[in-house]
Structure 1
Amino acid sequence: MRGRTGHLVWYRTGEGAAEVAFLHGFSDSAQCWDPVIRALPDVRTLAIDARGHGESGLPEEPIRYTAHRDDAALVLSDQPPNDGVVVVGHSMGAMAAAYLAAARPDLVRAVVLEDPPPGAPGNHPDEPWSEPDWLAGLRALDLPDRIARGRANDPGWPDDELEPWAVSKGQVNPRLFDLTFQDAAPLTDLLAEITCPVLLIHGDPERGGLISPEYAAQCARAAAGEFHAAHIPNAGHSVRRDNRPQYLAALTSFLPRSSECASSDQ
């Protein structure tokens, strides 16, 4: 089922309230979660196109993680009532999920963070930014050539990852780069405000992962609630694409735990 709430487009599987909501990374789209969603056939899911991505609109305002947080809250609040969802986010979407879990515990019963950016200290002023060269280069290609580029750059990715990844690059709204950007708060600061269970999934920094084992340990010390970290070997920033079997094993083992925690809180 496809729907729209305000400027945001979302996709839902199953009838009734969603159990797991997915927030994608920069330049991806909700459709990029399809391979993971297909691996969860008994779970009702919701995936959201972030502003300026996929089929969602782009409000004329600075790009901030608080805006991504509020966008996700808007969509979740417009869904059938439930006792909170597990929010799974990757990269930009992981940081948005952390912001959401910290601010709206009524909407989030647990959160899964796939290789989020650590964030930055300071006052987080608005900064100008520009389209990365790698994205501009991909956007200049037609879809078959984008798919071929993805296969060449990441030959270990499953074939079903390549088309949604390639399609999403052509959907990024170029006006995004006319707006200013505000960096995220440190992830450790957000974890200190999150009281629901957290699963941090990270790969190897030498392969491009953003979270080192040392920083994962800092996150564990900072977390206010139940915290778990899963290091997935042979994976970089796109953990689920680089090592799907172990990513799914970590995710699916956490989902029942998050349900048990929600039941014990009632």
Structure 2
Amino acid sequence: MFSVRGTTAHLAWYRTDEAEAEVAFLHGFSDSAQCWAPAIRELPGIRALAIDARGHGESGLPDEPIRYEAHRDDAALVLSGQPRDGGVVVVGHSMGAMAAAHLAASRPDLVRAVVLEDPPPGSPGDRLDVPWSEPGWLADLRVLDLPARIARGRSNDPGWADDELEPWAVSKAQVNPRLFDLTFRDAGPLTGLLADITCPVLLIHGDTDRGSLISTEYAERCAEAAAGEFRAAQIAGAGHSVRRDNRPAYLAELTAFLDRYR
């Protein structure tokens, strides 16, 4: 899928071709850039860039607290080294969606539009650096070999397409365990970020009873808070991994947005 690979400081990144990227993809916690490949394959003609977040995939892990502002600055570092006139469309999932929102709010020169796939809504109170630990589900997966992790994924999410399972399973073994020796700072409210984003925003979310972090009611609050053009799309039958749970509906929303703004 990615014919060009490179590094910028501690970050590994991948492009679909030699031409300048027009869409950048930021993955969620415990995933990697390769997890975007199944969706990108179904976006013909899209010149894509995907970045491994710090401590994920093939990227390094600086010895500093984990916070969304750091993920934002990492993405800005890569995009600044591969500038495109007018910026790129940034597509993020979960952790990557919050990083994309921070990036769009602070670096409008790099971002012409942003797609947020089920970002965490954030916390309204004080954000303190706190210890955290490896989630039990991830620890359980990491002790399995690759075929067993793929089998676990197929059992847990039988509705996912087969091409989602291997990159998902590979990424779990790539998470740097030292990540959990660092402190973590939660995100501020997504609504606060949207008030500072002037470019077009597409918020894609699923059903909360399937695990989506964004409810219909919260999406309405996001629409009220947004400073610029905003659209929320709820994908029926999807949970937190919207594109994996209902790829056709997700791609229909994403394609229409990219056709308009890339």
TM-score, normalization: structure 2? 0.98
Residue 16 of structure 1 contacts residue 80 of structure 1 at CA under 8 Å; is this kept in 2?
Answer: no
Q: Find the partner of 2:177 among 152, 174, 177.
A: 174
Backbone CA RMSD of aligned residues: 0.7
SS of 2:30's equivalent in the other structure is coil
Aligned to 1:262: none
**1: CA distance, partners of 2:20 / 2:199:** 19
SS of 1:89's equivalent in the other structure is strand
Q: CA deviation at 1:80?
A: 4.4
Does 1:107 pair with 2:110? Answer: yes
Does 1:245 pair with 2:235? Answer: no
Does 1:188 pair with 2:191? Answer: yes
Does 1:258 pair with 2:261? Answer: yes
Q: Find the partner of 2:60 among 46, 57, 60.
A: 57
**CA-to-partner distance for each residue in 1:184-208, whole Å, 9 max, x for gaps?**
0100000000000000000000000
Gaps spanning 5+ residues in structure 2: where?
none
**2: CA distance, partners of 1:80 / 1:250:** 26
**2: CA distance, partners of 1:15 / 1:27:** 28
Q: CA deviation at 1:83?
A: 1.6
Aligned to 2:124: 121
**1: CA distance, partners of 2:84 / 2:36:** 23
Residue 30 of structure 2 contacts residue 175 of structure 2 at CA under 8 Å; is this kept in 1?
Answer: yes
Residue 115 of structure 1 contacts residue 211 of structure 1 at CA under 8 Å; is this kept in 2?
Answer: yes
Residue 22 of structure 2 contacts residue 84 of structure 2 at CA under 8 Å; is this kept in 1?
Answer: no
Aligned to 1:150: 153
Aligned to 2:209: 206
**2: CA distance, partners of 1:147 / 1:234:** 22
**CA-to-partner distance for each residue in 1:57-81, whole Å, 9 max, x for gaps?**
0000000100000000000001143
Aligned to 2:220: 217
Aligned to 2:144: 141
Aligned to 1:164: 167
**2: CA distance, partners of 1:184 / 1:171:** 24
Residue 92 of structure 2 contacts residue 116 of structure 2 at CA under 8 Å; is this kept in 1?
Answer: yes
Q: Find the partner of 1:33 among 31, 36, 42.
A: 36
Q: CA deviation at 1:16?
A: 2.1
Aligned to 1:76: 79
Residue 11 of structure 1 contacts residue 30 of structure 1 at CA under 8 Å; is this kept in 2?
Answer: yes
Residue 17 of structure 1 contacts residue 82 of structure 1 at CA under 8 Å; is this kept in 2?
Answer: no
Residue 17 of structure 2 contacts residue 47 of structure 2 at CA under 8 Å; is this kept in 1?
Answer: yes
* Superposed structure 1 runs of 4+ greater than 3 Å apart: none
- Between 1:48-57 and 1:16-25, the stretch displaced more is 16-25
Q: Find the partner of 1:85 among 70, 83, 88.
A: 88
TM-score, normalization: structure 1? 0.96
Q: Aligned residue pairs: how many?
A: 259
Aligned to 1:98: 101
Aligned to 1:19: 22
Residue 196 of structure 1 contacts residue 226 of structure 1 at CA under 8 Å; is this kept in 2?
Answer: yes
Q: 1:231 to 1:159 in 2, by over 3 A?
A: same
Residue 24 of structure 2 contacts residue 91 of structure 2 at CA under 8 Å; is this kept in 1?
Answer: yes
Instruction: Provide the identity percentage.
Output: 79
